[in-house]
Structure 1
Amino acid sequence: MADAIDGLTQILDLETIEDNIFRGHSPQVGWQRVFGGLVVAQALVAATRTVNARPPHSLHGYFMLPGDPSVPIVYEVDRIRDGASFTTRRCNAIQHGRAIFSLSASFQILETGLDHAMPAPDVPKPEDLASAAELRERFGSLVPDAMRRWFESTNRAIEIRPVDPLRYLGRGAPTPAQYVWLKAAKRLPDDQAIHNAVLAYLSDMSLLDTALVAHKRTLFDPDLQVASLDHALWFHRPFRADEWLLYAQDSPNTGGARGLTRGLIYAHDGSLVASVAQEGLIRLRRPSA
Protein backbone atom coordinates (compact mmCIF):
# COMPACT_ATOMS: atom_id res chain seq x y z
CA MET A 1 0.00 0.00 0.00
CA ALA A 2 2.78 2.40 0.86
CA ASP A 3 4.33 1.99 -2.58
CA ALA A 4 1.01 2.70 -4.29
CA ILE A 5 0.24 5.90 -2.39
CA ASP A 6 3.81 7.12 -2.81
CA GLY A 7 3.42 6.49 -6.53
CA LEU A 8 0.12 8.37 -6.60
CA THR A 9 1.53 11.46 -4.86
CA GLN A 10 4.50 11.43 -7.26
CA ILE A 11 2.19 11.22 -10.27
CA LEU A 12 0.11 14.10 -8.90
CA ASP A 13 3.27 16.25 -8.68
CA LEU A 14 3.09 17.45 -12.29
CA GLU A 15 6.09 18.55 -14.31
CA THR A 16 6.07 22.22 -15.37
CA ILE A 17 6.84 22.50 -19.09
CA GLU A 18 6.13 26.20 -19.64
CA ASP A 19 3.97 28.91 -18.11
CA ASN A 20 0.49 27.41 -17.67
CA ILE A 21 1.52 24.09 -19.27
CA PHE A 22 2.17 20.91 -17.27
CA ARG A 23 2.85 17.25 -17.97
CA GLY A 24 1.49 14.25 -16.09
CA HIS A 25 1.88 10.49 -16.31
CA SER A 26 -0.26 7.44 -15.51
CA PRO A 27 0.75 4.46 -13.36
CA GLN A 28 1.92 1.57 -15.53
CA VAL A 29 -0.28 -1.15 -14.10
CA GLY A 30 -1.72 -2.63 -17.29
CA TRP A 31 -4.92 -0.59 -17.44
CA GLN A 32 -6.36 -0.14 -20.93
CA ARG A 33 -7.30 3.47 -20.25
CA VAL A 34 -6.45 6.19 -17.77
CA PHE A 35 -8.56 6.19 -14.60
CA GLY A 36 -10.93 9.17 -14.79
CA GLY A 37 -10.25 10.24 -11.21
CA LEU A 38 -6.56 10.59 -12.01
CA VAL A 39 -7.26 12.99 -14.90
CA VAL A 40 -9.60 15.04 -12.67
CA ALA A 41 -6.97 15.19 -9.92
CA GLN A 42 -4.10 16.11 -12.25
CA ALA A 43 -6.16 18.80 -13.97
CA LEU A 44 -7.01 20.25 -10.55
CA VAL A 45 -3.32 20.23 -9.62
CA ALA A 46 -2.45 22.05 -12.85
CA ALA A 47 -5.12 24.70 -12.28
CA THR A 48 -4.11 25.11 -8.62
CA ARG A 49 -0.47 25.73 -9.64
CA THR A 50 -1.61 28.95 -11.38
CA VAL A 51 -3.56 30.32 -8.39
CA ASN A 52 -2.02 32.21 -5.49
CA ALA A 53 -3.18 31.20 -1.97
CA ARG A 54 -6.82 30.47 -2.78
CA PRO A 55 -8.30 27.00 -2.27
CA PRO A 56 -10.70 25.49 -4.84
CA HIS A 57 -14.38 25.45 -3.98
CA SER A 58 -15.73 23.73 -7.09
CA LEU A 59 -14.77 21.98 -10.30
CA HIS A 60 -16.72 20.74 -13.29
CA GLY A 61 -15.27 18.49 -15.96
CA TYR A 62 -16.21 16.58 -19.10
CA PHE A 63 -14.57 13.36 -20.29
CA MET A 64 -14.32 13.38 -24.07
CA LEU A 65 -11.93 10.56 -25.03
CA PRO A 66 -10.42 7.59 -23.20
CA GLY A 67 -6.93 8.39 -21.91
CA ASP A 68 -3.94 6.42 -23.16
CA PRO A 69 -1.86 5.31 -20.12
CA SER A 70 1.21 4.62 -22.29
CA VAL A 71 1.90 8.29 -23.10
CA PRO A 72 2.05 11.50 -21.00
CA ILE A 73 -0.90 13.86 -20.61
CA VAL A 74 -0.30 17.56 -21.27
CA TYR A 75 -2.39 20.00 -19.21
CA GLU A 76 -2.92 23.50 -20.61
CA VAL A 77 -4.36 26.05 -18.17
CA ASP A 78 -6.25 29.15 -19.29
CA ARG A 79 -6.33 31.92 -16.67
CA ILE A 80 -9.92 32.99 -17.24
CA ARG A 81 -10.29 35.49 -14.40
CA ASP A 82 -8.56 36.75 -11.26
CA GLY A 83 -11.15 38.62 -9.21
CA ALA A 84 -11.14 40.17 -5.76
CA SER A 85 -12.74 37.08 -4.20
CA PHE A 86 -12.89 34.41 -6.89
CA THR A 87 -10.43 33.00 -9.42
CA THR A 88 -11.52 30.99 -12.46
CA ARG A 89 -9.40 28.57 -14.45
CA ARG A 90 -9.99 26.29 -17.42
CA CYS A 91 -7.73 23.30 -18.00
CA ASN A 92 -7.64 20.96 -21.00
CA ALA A 93 -5.95 17.56 -20.80
CA ILE A 94 -4.39 16.67 -24.16
CA GLN A 95 -3.05 13.46 -25.68
CA HIS A 96 -2.15 12.72 -29.31
CA GLY A 97 -3.07 16.30 -30.21
CA ARG A 98 -6.67 16.03 -28.93
CA ALA A 99 -8.42 17.04 -25.73
CA ILE A 100 -9.45 14.01 -23.67
CA PHE A 101 -10.84 16.00 -20.70
CA SER A 102 -11.83 19.59 -20.01
CA LEU A 103 -12.01 21.11 -16.52
CA SER A 104 -13.38 24.40 -15.19
CA ALA A 105 -12.39 25.21 -11.60
CA SER A 106 -13.22 28.08 -9.29
CA PHE A 107 -11.13 29.22 -6.32
CA GLN A 108 -12.17 31.54 -3.49
CA ILE A 109 -10.54 33.47 -0.69
CA LEU A 110 -11.32 32.07 2.78
CA GLU A 111 -14.48 33.69 4.12
CA THR A 112 -16.94 33.12 6.97
CA GLY A 113 -20.72 33.25 6.82
CA LEU A 114 -23.91 31.23 7.35
CA ASP A 115 -23.21 27.56 7.94
CA HIS A 116 -25.29 24.36 7.76
CA ALA A 117 -24.89 20.85 6.37
CA MET A 118 -26.87 17.65 5.92
CA PRO A 119 -26.06 15.27 8.79
CA ALA A 120 -24.03 12.16 8.13
CA PRO A 121 -26.02 8.92 7.74
CA ASP A 122 -25.99 6.42 10.58
CA VAL A 123 -23.83 3.61 9.21
CA PRO A 124 -21.16 1.34 10.71
CA LYS A 125 -17.75 2.91 11.26
CA PRO A 126 -14.81 1.65 9.17
CA GLU A 127 -13.21 0.10 12.26
CA ASP A 128 -16.21 -2.25 12.47
CA LEU A 129 -16.12 -3.31 8.80
CA ALA A 130 -14.15 -5.99 7.02
CA SER A 131 -10.75 -5.03 5.63
CA ALA A 132 -9.76 -5.77 2.04
CA ALA A 133 -7.89 -8.88 3.20
CA GLU A 134 -10.96 -10.11 5.10
CA LEU A 135 -13.19 -9.47 2.09
CA ARG A 136 -10.80 -11.48 -0.10
CA GLU A 137 -10.91 -14.34 2.36
CA ARG A 138 -14.71 -14.23 2.70
CA PHE A 139 -15.87 -13.56 -0.86
CA GLY A 140 -12.89 -14.14 -3.17
CA SER A 141 -14.12 -17.48 -4.48
CA LEU A 142 -17.70 -16.25 -4.98
CA VAL A 143 -17.18 -13.29 -7.31
CA PRO A 144 -16.39 -13.15 -11.06
CA ASP A 145 -12.76 -13.31 -12.17
CA ALA A 146 -12.47 -9.57 -12.91
CA MET A 147 -13.79 -8.67 -9.47
CA ARG A 148 -11.62 -11.30 -7.78
CA ARG A 149 -8.50 -9.81 -9.37
CA TRP A 150 -9.51 -6.44 -7.94
CA PHE A 151 -10.03 -7.97 -4.49
CA GLU A 152 -6.67 -9.76 -4.71
CA SER A 153 -4.75 -6.57 -5.51
CA THR A 154 -2.88 -5.70 -2.30
CA ASN A 155 -0.97 -2.63 -3.53
CA ARG A 156 -3.66 0.04 -3.86
CA ALA A 157 -3.26 3.72 -3.09
CA ILE A 158 -6.78 4.05 -1.65
CA GLU A 159 -8.12 1.78 1.08
CA ILE A 160 -11.82 0.96 0.60
CA ARG A 161 -14.33 -0.55 3.01
CA PRO A 162 -17.88 -0.93 1.64
CA VAL A 163 -20.65 -0.91 4.23
CA ASP A 164 -22.61 -3.56 2.28
CA PRO A 165 -20.19 -5.90 0.46
CA LEU A 166 -23.04 -8.36 -0.22
CA ARG A 167 -24.26 -6.05 -2.94
CA TYR A 168 -21.29 -7.15 -5.08
CA LEU A 169 -22.75 -10.65 -4.95
CA GLY A 170 -26.18 -9.44 -6.08
CA ARG A 171 -27.58 -9.96 -2.60
CA GLY A 172 -27.67 -6.39 -1.33
CA ALA A 173 -30.67 -4.11 -0.99
CA PRO A 174 -32.02 -3.10 -4.46
CA THR A 175 -32.17 0.58 -3.48
CA PRO A 176 -29.91 2.74 -5.72
CA ALA A 177 -27.71 3.88 -2.84
CA GLN A 178 -24.53 2.69 -1.16
CA TYR A 179 -22.04 3.76 1.50
CA VAL A 180 -18.30 3.33 1.19
CA TRP A 181 -15.45 4.37 3.50
CA LEU A 182 -12.24 5.45 1.75
CA LYS A 183 -8.86 6.94 2.66
CA ALA A 184 -5.32 7.17 1.39
CA ALA A 185 -3.39 4.05 2.31
CA LYS A 186 -0.74 5.95 4.32
CA ARG A 187 -0.05 9.35 5.86
CA LEU A 188 0.10 12.26 3.41
CA PRO A 189 1.99 15.56 3.72
CA ASP A 190 0.14 18.38 5.48
CA ASP A 191 -0.25 20.46 2.28
CA GLN A 192 -4.02 20.86 1.78
CA ALA A 193 -3.55 21.00 -1.99
CA ILE A 194 -2.36 17.37 -1.90
CA HIS A 195 -5.42 16.32 0.10
CA ASN A 196 -7.68 18.18 -2.36
CA ALA A 197 -6.08 16.33 -5.27
CA VAL A 198 -6.35 12.93 -3.57
CA LEU A 199 -10.01 13.57 -2.74
CA ALA A 200 -10.63 14.52 -6.38
CA TYR A 201 -8.97 11.22 -7.33
CA LEU A 202 -11.02 9.04 -4.98
CA SER A 203 -14.27 10.92 -5.73
CA ASP A 204 -14.46 8.96 -9.00
CA MET A 205 -14.21 5.61 -7.20
CA SER A 206 -17.38 3.46 -6.88
CA LEU A 207 -19.67 6.41 -7.70
CA LEU A 208 -21.01 5.34 -11.09
CA ASP A 209 -21.35 1.82 -9.74
CA THR A 210 -24.19 3.15 -7.55
CA ALA A 211 -26.41 3.50 -10.63
CA LEU A 212 -26.14 -0.27 -11.07
CA VAL A 213 -27.21 -1.22 -7.55
CA ALA A 214 -30.94 -1.16 -8.33
CA HIS A 215 -30.32 -3.55 -11.24
CA LYS A 216 -28.11 -5.90 -9.18
CA ARG A 217 -25.30 -5.22 -11.61
CA THR A 218 -21.65 -4.22 -11.13
CA LEU A 219 -18.97 -2.48 -13.18
CA PHE A 220 -17.40 -5.90 -13.73
CA ASP A 221 -20.31 -7.32 -15.75
CA PRO A 222 -18.92 -8.18 -19.20
CA ASP A 223 -22.10 -7.20 -21.07
CA LEU A 224 -21.95 -3.59 -19.84
CA GLN A 225 -20.02 -0.67 -21.31
CA VAL A 226 -19.55 1.83 -18.48
CA ALA A 227 -17.63 5.12 -18.59
CA SER A 228 -17.75 8.51 -16.86
CA LEU A 229 -19.14 11.35 -19.00
CA ASP A 230 -18.84 14.30 -16.63
CA HIS A 231 -17.83 15.00 -13.04
CA ALA A 232 -18.55 17.82 -10.59
CA LEU A 233 -17.01 18.31 -7.15
CA TRP A 234 -17.62 20.96 -4.49
CA PHE A 235 -15.28 21.44 -1.52
CA HIS A 236 -17.07 22.54 1.67
CA ARG A 237 -14.77 22.19 4.69
CA PRO A 238 -11.14 21.28 5.48
CA PHE A 239 -10.35 17.55 5.68
CA ARG A 240 -7.55 15.03 5.47
CA ALA A 241 -7.68 12.44 2.70
CA ASP A 242 -5.50 10.09 4.77
CA GLU A 243 -8.24 9.79 7.40
CA TRP A 244 -11.44 7.81 6.83
CA LEU A 245 -14.04 9.53 4.64
CA LEU A 246 -17.59 8.23 4.27
CA TYR A 247 -18.85 8.41 0.69
CA ALA A 248 -22.68 8.38 0.84
CA GLN A 249 -23.89 7.79 -2.71
CA ASP A 250 -27.23 7.55 -4.50
CA SER A 251 -28.53 7.41 -8.06
CA PRO A 252 -31.77 9.32 -8.78
CA ASN A 253 -32.05 8.19 -12.40
CA THR A 254 -30.84 5.71 -15.00
CA GLY A 255 -32.13 5.87 -18.57
CA GLY A 256 -31.12 6.53 -22.16
CA ALA A 257 -27.94 4.48 -21.65
CA ARG A 258 -26.84 6.96 -18.96
CA GLY A 259 -26.85 6.91 -15.17
CA LEU A 260 -26.85 9.92 -12.83
CA THR A 261 -25.12 9.55 -9.47
CA ARG A 262 -24.55 11.85 -6.49
CA GLY A 263 -22.35 11.68 -3.43
CA LEU A 264 -21.81 13.39 -0.10
CA ILE A 265 -18.38 12.95 1.49
CA TYR A 266 -18.15 13.11 5.28
CA ALA A 267 -15.16 13.11 7.61
CA HIS A 268 -15.00 10.47 10.34
CA ASP A 269 -16.41 13.03 12.82
CA GLY A 270 -19.54 13.51 10.67
CA SER A 271 -18.69 16.88 9.13
CA LEU A 272 -19.66 17.29 5.47
CA VAL A 273 -16.47 18.05 3.52
CA ALA A 274 -17.48 17.68 -0.15
CA SER A 275 -20.33 16.97 -2.59
CA VAL A 276 -20.09 15.18 -5.93
CA ALA A 277 -22.28 14.60 -8.98
CA GLN A 278 -21.55 12.50 -12.04
CA GLU A 279 -23.31 11.16 -15.11
CA GLY A 280 -21.94 8.15 -16.90
CA LEU A 281 -22.50 5.95 -19.90
CA ILE A 282 -24.21 2.65 -19.02
CA ARG A 283 -24.72 0.78 -22.28
CA LEU A 284 -25.73 -2.81 -22.78
CA ARG A 285 -23.33 -4.40 -25.26
CA ARG A 286 -24.94 -6.04 -28.27
CA PRO A 287 -24.24 -9.77 -28.51
CA SER A 288 -21.56 -10.52 -31.08
CA ALA A 289 -22.88 -12.14 -34.24
Structure 2
Amino acid sequence: MSQALQSLLDLLDLERIEQDIFRGQSRSAVVPRVFGGQVAAQALVAAGRTVPEDRHAHSLHAYFLRAGDPGAPIVYSVDRIRDGRSFTTRRVVAVQHGQPIFHLSASFQTYEEGMEHQAPMPSAPDPETLPTGAELLPRYADVFADPVIAERLLEARESVDLRYVDAPPYGTVGEIREPRSQVWFRTNGKLDGAIDEPLLHVVLATYVSDMTLLDSILLAHGRGGWAVGDVVGASLDHAMWFHRPFRADEWLLYDQESPSASGGRGLGQARIYTQDGRLAISVIQEGVVRIPRSD
Protein backbone atom coordinates (compact mmCIF):
# COMPACT_ATOMS: atom_id res chain seq x y z
CA MET A 1 0.00 0.00 0.00
CA SER A 2 1.30 3.45 -0.89
CA GLN A 3 1.92 6.02 1.84
CA ALA A 4 -0.59 8.33 0.15
CA LEU A 5 -3.31 5.67 0.32
CA GLN A 6 -2.49 4.95 3.96
CA SER A 7 -2.79 8.70 4.68
CA LEU A 8 -6.24 8.70 3.06
CA LEU A 9 -7.33 5.71 5.15
CA ASP A 10 -6.07 7.49 8.28
CA LEU A 11 -8.06 10.57 7.24
CA LEU A 12 -11.24 8.48 7.05
CA ASP A 13 -10.61 6.69 10.37
CA LEU A 14 -12.67 8.88 12.71
CA GLU A 15 -12.13 9.30 16.44
CA ARG A 16 -15.13 8.29 18.57
CA ILE A 17 -15.62 10.90 21.30
CA GLU A 18 -19.08 9.77 22.50
CA GLN A 19 -21.35 6.85 21.61
CA ASP A 20 -22.74 8.54 18.49
CA ILE A 21 -20.33 11.47 18.12
CA PHE A 22 -17.14 11.30 16.06
CA ARG A 23 -14.33 13.68 15.18
CA GLY A 24 -12.49 13.89 11.88
CA GLN A 25 -9.52 15.87 10.64
CA SER A 26 -8.73 17.39 7.25
CA ARG A 27 -5.65 17.73 5.11
CA SER A 28 -4.38 20.65 3.08
CA ALA A 29 -6.60 21.64 0.16
CA VAL A 30 -5.87 23.54 -3.03
CA VAL A 31 -8.72 25.91 -2.22
CA PRO A 32 -9.31 27.23 1.32
CA ARG A 33 -12.14 24.79 2.08
CA VAL A 34 -12.53 21.12 2.86
CA PHE A 35 -12.97 18.81 -0.14
CA GLY A 36 -16.65 17.82 -0.30
CA GLY A 37 -15.89 14.16 -1.00
CA GLN A 38 -13.94 14.01 2.25
CA VAL A 39 -16.85 15.30 4.34
CA ALA A 40 -19.32 12.93 2.63
CA ALA A 41 -17.01 9.95 3.13
CA GLN A 42 -16.32 10.78 6.78
CA ALA A 43 -20.04 11.26 7.48
CA LEU A 44 -20.74 7.84 5.96
CA VAL A 45 -18.05 6.31 8.17
CA ALA A 46 -19.74 7.88 11.22
CA ALA A 47 -23.13 6.52 10.19
CA GLY A 48 -21.75 3.06 9.40
CA ARG A 49 -20.10 2.71 12.80
CA THR A 50 -23.52 2.82 14.48
CA VAL A 51 -25.02 0.10 12.26
CA PRO A 52 -24.84 -3.73 12.70
CA GLU A 53 -22.11 -5.32 10.58
CA ASP A 54 -24.58 -7.41 8.56
CA ARG A 55 -26.23 -4.26 7.11
CA HIS A 56 -24.57 -2.56 4.18
CA ALA A 57 -24.99 0.98 2.84
CA HIS A 58 -27.39 1.08 -0.11
CA SER A 59 -28.01 4.83 -0.44
CA LEU A 60 -27.05 8.28 0.80
CA HIS A 61 -28.48 11.75 0.29
CA ALA A 62 -26.51 14.81 1.37
CA TYR A 63 -26.45 18.61 1.37
CA PHE A 64 -23.35 20.78 1.53
CA LEU A 65 -24.38 23.72 3.73
CA ARG A 66 -21.22 25.75 4.35
CA ALA A 67 -17.60 25.65 3.24
CA GLY A 68 -15.52 23.56 5.62
CA ASP A 69 -12.41 24.94 7.31
CA PRO A 70 -9.45 22.61 6.57
CA GLY A 71 -7.63 23.94 9.63
CA ALA A 72 -10.23 22.80 12.16
CA PRO A 73 -11.60 19.36 13.16
CA ILE A 74 -15.08 18.34 12.05
CA VAL A 75 -17.52 16.85 14.56
CA TYR A 76 -20.03 14.31 13.23
CA SER A 77 -23.20 13.71 15.27
CA VAL A 78 -25.26 10.63 14.35
CA ASP A 79 -29.01 10.28 14.94
CA ARG A 80 -30.32 6.71 15.01
CA ILE A 81 -33.49 7.42 13.05
CA ARG A 82 -34.72 3.85 12.60
CA ASP A 83 -33.65 0.24 13.09
CA GLY A 84 -36.09 -1.96 11.18
CA ARG A 85 -36.10 -5.67 10.40
CA SER A 86 -34.39 -5.14 7.03
CA PHE A 87 -33.37 -1.48 6.87
CA THR A 88 -31.48 0.90 9.16
CA THR A 89 -31.56 4.68 8.70
CA ARG A 90 -29.08 7.20 10.07
CA ARG A 91 -28.84 10.98 9.93
CA VAL A 92 -25.48 12.72 10.33
CA VAL A 93 -24.75 16.41 10.88
CA ALA A 94 -21.18 17.68 10.46
CA VAL A 95 -20.34 20.73 12.60
CA GLN A 96 -17.44 23.20 12.63
CA HIS A 97 -17.10 26.34 14.76
CA GLY A 98 -20.59 25.70 16.20
CA GLN A 99 -22.33 25.65 12.80
CA PRO A 100 -23.53 22.76 10.60
CA ILE A 101 -21.55 22.51 7.36
CA PHE A 102 -22.99 19.26 5.99
CA HIS A 103 -26.01 17.01 6.41
CA LEU A 104 -26.30 13.36 5.35
CA SER A 105 -29.01 10.71 5.48
CA ALA A 106 -27.92 7.14 4.81
CA SER A 107 -29.78 3.85 4.63
CA PHE A 108 -28.40 0.36 5.25
CA GLN A 109 -29.93 -3.03 4.39
CA THR A 110 -29.40 -6.69 5.17
CA TYR A 111 -28.60 -8.74 2.05
CA GLU A 112 -31.52 -10.40 0.29
CA GLU A 113 -32.25 -12.00 -3.09
CA GLY A 114 -34.49 -10.12 -5.52
CA MET A 115 -35.27 -9.26 -9.13
CA GLU A 116 -32.19 -8.51 -11.20
CA HIS A 117 -31.54 -6.24 -14.20
CA GLN A 118 -29.27 -3.31 -15.05
CA ALA A 119 -28.39 -0.77 -17.72
CA PRO A 120 -25.58 -2.07 -19.94
CA MET A 121 -22.06 -0.78 -19.47
CA PRO A 122 -21.00 1.74 -22.15
CA SER A 123 -17.91 1.15 -24.21
CA ALA A 124 -14.63 2.49 -22.83
CA PRO A 125 -10.93 1.82 -23.50
CA ASP A 126 -8.84 -0.38 -21.23
CA PRO A 127 -7.76 1.79 -18.27
CA GLU A 128 -4.21 0.44 -18.49
CA THR A 129 -3.86 2.15 -21.90
CA LEU A 130 -4.70 5.62 -20.49
CA PRO A 131 -2.28 8.14 -18.95
CA THR A 132 -1.96 8.33 -15.18
CA GLY A 133 -2.34 11.62 -13.31
CA ALA A 134 1.44 11.87 -13.06
CA GLU A 135 1.65 11.64 -16.85
CA LEU A 136 -1.38 13.80 -17.66
CA LEU A 137 -1.22 16.82 -15.35
CA PRO A 138 2.23 18.12 -16.41
CA ARG A 139 0.94 18.44 -19.98
CA TYR A 140 -1.45 21.17 -18.87
CA ALA A 141 0.60 22.92 -16.18
CA ASP A 142 0.67 26.16 -18.18
CA VAL A 143 -3.14 26.55 -18.18
CA PHE A 144 -3.68 26.50 -14.42
CA ALA A 145 -4.58 29.75 -12.68
CA ASP A 146 -1.77 29.32 -10.14
CA PRO A 147 1.58 27.59 -10.83
CA VAL A 148 1.26 25.40 -7.71
CA ILE A 149 -2.21 24.07 -8.60
CA ALA A 150 -0.95 21.28 -10.89
CA GLU A 151 1.46 20.07 -8.21
CA ARG A 152 -1.25 20.07 -5.56
CA LEU A 153 -3.75 18.37 -7.85
CA LEU A 154 -1.20 15.62 -8.35
CA GLU A 155 -0.63 15.35 -4.60
CA ALA A 156 -4.38 15.12 -3.99
CA ARG A 157 -4.64 12.18 -6.40
CA GLU A 158 -1.63 10.19 -5.23
CA SER A 159 -3.97 8.02 -3.18
CA VAL A 160 -6.32 7.41 -6.14
CA ASP A 161 -5.31 6.28 -9.62
CA LEU A 162 -7.74 8.32 -11.75
CA ARG A 163 -7.48 8.18 -15.54
CA TYR A 164 -9.49 10.30 -18.00
CA VAL A 165 -10.76 8.55 -21.13
CA ASP A 166 -10.70 11.87 -23.03
CA ALA A 167 -8.99 15.18 -22.25
CA PRO A 168 -10.20 16.75 -18.98
CA PRO A 169 -12.01 20.14 -19.09
CA TYR A 170 -8.81 22.06 -18.35
CA GLY A 171 -7.20 20.36 -21.36
CA THR A 172 -9.62 21.74 -23.97
CA VAL A 173 -10.56 25.21 -22.73
CA GLY A 174 -12.64 27.05 -25.32
CA GLU A 175 -13.70 23.87 -27.12
CA ILE A 176 -17.41 23.00 -26.89
CA ARG A 177 -17.86 19.28 -26.35
CA GLU A 178 -20.69 16.87 -25.65
CA PRO A 179 -21.63 17.04 -21.93
CA ARG A 180 -20.26 13.59 -21.20
CA SER A 181 -17.11 12.45 -19.45
CA GLN A 182 -15.58 9.12 -18.49
CA VAL A 183 -12.85 8.31 -16.00
CA TRP A 184 -11.51 5.05 -14.64
CA PHE A 185 -10.45 4.99 -10.99
CA ARG A 186 -9.16 2.71 -8.25
CA THR A 187 -7.12 3.19 -5.10
CA ASN A 188 -3.38 3.47 -5.61
CA GLY A 189 -2.68 0.19 -3.85
CA LYS A 190 -4.49 -2.92 -2.63
CA LEU A 191 -6.79 -2.88 0.38
CA ASP A 192 -5.76 -5.99 2.27
CA GLY A 193 -5.90 -7.20 5.84
CA ALA A 194 -8.04 -5.94 8.71
CA ILE A 195 -9.02 -2.74 6.91
CA ASP A 196 -10.60 -4.71 4.06
CA GLU A 197 -14.31 -4.39 4.87
CA PRO A 198 -17.38 -3.63 2.70
CA LEU A 199 -18.01 -0.20 4.26
CA LEU A 200 -14.50 0.95 3.40
CA HIS A 201 -14.97 0.31 -0.32
CA VAL A 202 -18.27 2.23 -0.31
CA VAL A 203 -16.67 5.10 1.62
CA LEU A 204 -13.73 5.35 -0.79
CA ALA A 205 -16.06 5.40 -3.80
CA THR A 206 -18.01 8.19 -2.08
CA TYR A 207 -14.77 10.15 -1.63
CA VAL A 208 -13.81 9.84 -5.31
CA SER A 209 -17.34 10.50 -6.60
CA ASP A 210 -17.04 14.24 -5.85
CA MET A 211 -13.81 14.70 -7.83
CA THR A 212 -15.05 14.80 -11.43
CA LEU A 213 -18.86 14.59 -11.50
CA LEU A 214 -19.41 18.18 -12.64
CA ASP A 215 -16.81 17.95 -15.45
CA SER A 216 -19.49 17.26 -18.06
CA ILE A 217 -21.12 20.63 -17.32
CA LEU A 218 -17.85 22.42 -18.06
CA LEU A 219 -17.32 20.50 -21.31
CA ALA A 220 -20.63 21.76 -22.72
CA HIS A 221 -19.44 25.37 -22.31
CA GLY A 222 -15.73 25.12 -23.09
CA ARG A 223 -14.77 25.94 -19.51
CA GLY A 224 -11.78 24.56 -17.65
CA GLY A 225 -13.10 24.87 -14.09
CA TRP A 226 -11.82 26.31 -10.84
CA ALA A 227 -8.25 25.14 -11.49
CA VAL A 228 -8.14 27.33 -14.61
CA GLY A 229 -10.06 30.14 -12.93
CA ASP A 230 -12.86 30.51 -15.49
CA VAL A 231 -15.59 29.02 -13.26
CA VAL A 232 -16.57 29.45 -9.62
CA GLY A 233 -18.13 26.23 -8.36
CA ALA A 234 -19.16 24.26 -5.30
CA SER A 235 -21.18 21.13 -4.59
CA LEU A 236 -24.73 21.72 -3.37
CA ASP A 237 -26.15 18.24 -2.88
CA HIS A 238 -25.10 14.67 -3.58
CA ALA A 239 -26.93 11.34 -3.80
CA MET A 240 -25.64 7.81 -4.33
CA TRP A 241 -27.24 4.38 -4.64
CA PHE A 242 -25.04 1.31 -4.13
CA HIS A 243 -26.52 -1.50 -6.22
CA ARG A 244 -23.98 -4.33 -6.16
CA PRO A 245 -20.79 -5.23 -4.29
CA PHE A 246 -17.52 -3.85 -5.66
CA ARG A 247 -13.95 -3.22 -4.63
CA ALA A 248 -12.45 0.27 -4.62
CA ASP A 249 -8.98 -1.17 -5.31
CA GLU A 250 -10.15 -2.63 -8.63
CA TRP A 251 -10.92 -0.57 -11.74
CA LEU A 252 -14.28 1.24 -11.77
CA LEU A 253 -15.64 3.15 -14.77
CA TYR A 254 -17.26 6.50 -13.85
CA ASP A 255 -19.56 7.32 -16.78
CA GLN A 256 -20.81 10.91 -16.29
CA GLU A 257 -23.13 13.31 -18.09
CA SER A 258 -24.95 16.59 -17.51
CA PRO A 259 -28.60 16.89 -18.62
CA SER A 260 -28.99 20.54 -17.55
CA ALA A 261 -27.36 23.76 -16.38
CA SER A 262 -29.30 26.93 -15.53
CA GLY A 263 -29.71 29.59 -12.87
CA GLY A 264 -26.07 29.40 -11.77
CA ARG A 265 -26.41 25.66 -11.09
CA GLY A 266 -25.52 22.54 -13.03
CA LEU A 267 -26.62 18.91 -12.68
CA GLY A 268 -24.34 15.91 -13.08
CA GLN A 269 -25.46 12.30 -13.14
CA ALA A 270 -23.42 9.14 -13.50
CA ARG A 271 -23.19 5.38 -13.33
CA ILE A 272 -20.21 3.51 -11.95
CA TYR A 273 -19.43 0.06 -13.37
CA THR A 274 -16.98 -2.65 -12.39
CA GLN A 275 -14.51 -3.62 -15.09
CA ASP A 276 -16.48 -6.81 -15.82
CA GLY A 277 -19.63 -4.77 -16.57
CA ARG A 278 -21.69 -4.85 -13.37
CA LEU A 279 -23.53 -1.63 -12.48
CA ALA A 280 -22.26 -0.89 -8.97
CA ILE A 281 -23.37 2.69 -8.19
CA SER A 282 -25.64 5.47 -9.47
CA VAL A 283 -24.75 9.08 -8.61
CA ILE A 284 -26.46 12.47 -8.96
CA GLN A 285 -25.07 15.85 -7.88
CA GLU A 286 -26.06 19.48 -8.33
CA GLY A 287 -23.48 22.21 -7.94
CA VAL A 288 -23.02 25.94 -8.17
CA VAL A 289 -21.43 26.74 -11.54
CA ARG A 290 -20.89 30.47 -12.05
CA ILE A 291 -18.81 32.45 -14.49
CA PRO A 292 -16.62 34.92 -12.53
CA ARG A 293 -17.54 38.57 -12.87
CA SER A 294 -15.06 40.61 -14.88
CA ASP A 295 -15.51 43.87 -12.98
Aligned to 2:277: 270
- Cα deviations by residue, 1:79-105 (Å, 9 ceiling, x for unpaired): 000001111100000000000000000
- Cα deviations by residue, 1:145-180 (Å, 9 ceiling, x for unpaired): 546335654862111100002653227661100100
**C-alpha spacing 1:166/1:16, structure 2 compared with 1 (3 Å):** closer
Question: Would you say the 8 A contact 2:223–2:230 is kept in 1?
Answer: no
Deviation at 1:186, TM superposition (A): 0.9
Distance 1:199 1:166 in 2: 20
Aligned to 2:84: 83
Distance 1:166 1:112 in 2: 40
SS at match of 1:241: coil
Aligned to 2:150: 148
Any gaps of 5 or more consecutive residues in structure 2?
none
Aligned to 1:285: 292
Deviation at 1:71, TM superposition (A): 0.6
1:181 aligns with 2:184: yes
Aligned to 1:97: 98
Aligned to 1:114: 115
Distance 1:234 1:50 in 2: 20
Task: Give the RMSD, CA atoms, in angstroms.
Answer: 1.9
Aligned to 2:215: 209
**Which runs of structure 2 are paired with 1:24-35 in the superposition (5 Å)?**
24-28=24-28, 31-35=31-35
Of 181, 203, 214, the residue aligned with 1:197 is: 203
User: What is the TM-score when the length of structure 1 is the normalising length?
Assistant: 0.94
Could you tell me the percent identity over the aligned residues?
50
Distance 2:83 2:156 in 1: 44
Distance 1:31 1:227 in 2: 11
Any gaps of 5 or more consecutive residues in structure 1?
none
Aligned to 1:69: 70
Distance 1:152 1:62 in 2: 27
Distance 2:47 2:214 in 1: 25
SS at match of 1:55: strand
Question: Would you say the 8 A contact 1:59–1:232 is kept in 2?
Answer: yes
Distance 2:287 2:168 in 1: 23
Name the aligned partner's letter for residue 158 of structure 1. Answer: V
Distance 2:34 2:207 in 1: 12
- Cα deviations by residue, 1:6-65 (Å, 9 ceiling, x for unpaired): 111011111000011000001135641100000000000000001002001000000000
Question: Would you say the 8 A contact 2:34–2:69 is kept in 1?
Answer: yes
Distance 2:73 2:208 in 1: 21
Deviation at 1:2, TM superposition (A): 1.5
Question: Would you say the 8 A contact 2:30–2:153 is kept in 1?
Answer: no
Larger mean CA deviation between 154-163 and 186-195 belongs to 154-163
The total of aligned residue pairs comes to 287
Deviation at 1:204, TM superposition (A): 0.7
Question: Would you say the 8 A contact 1:142–1:169 is kept in 2?
Answer: no
Question: Would you say the 8 A contact 1:31–1:69 is kept in 2?
Answer: no
Distance 2:107 2:156 in 1: 36
SS at match of 2:26: coil
**C-alpha spacing 1:154/1:44, structure 2 compared with 1 (3 Å):** closer
Question: Would you say the 8 A contact 1:89–1:105 is kept in 2?
Answer: yes
SS at match of 2:212: coil
Aligned to 1:19: 19
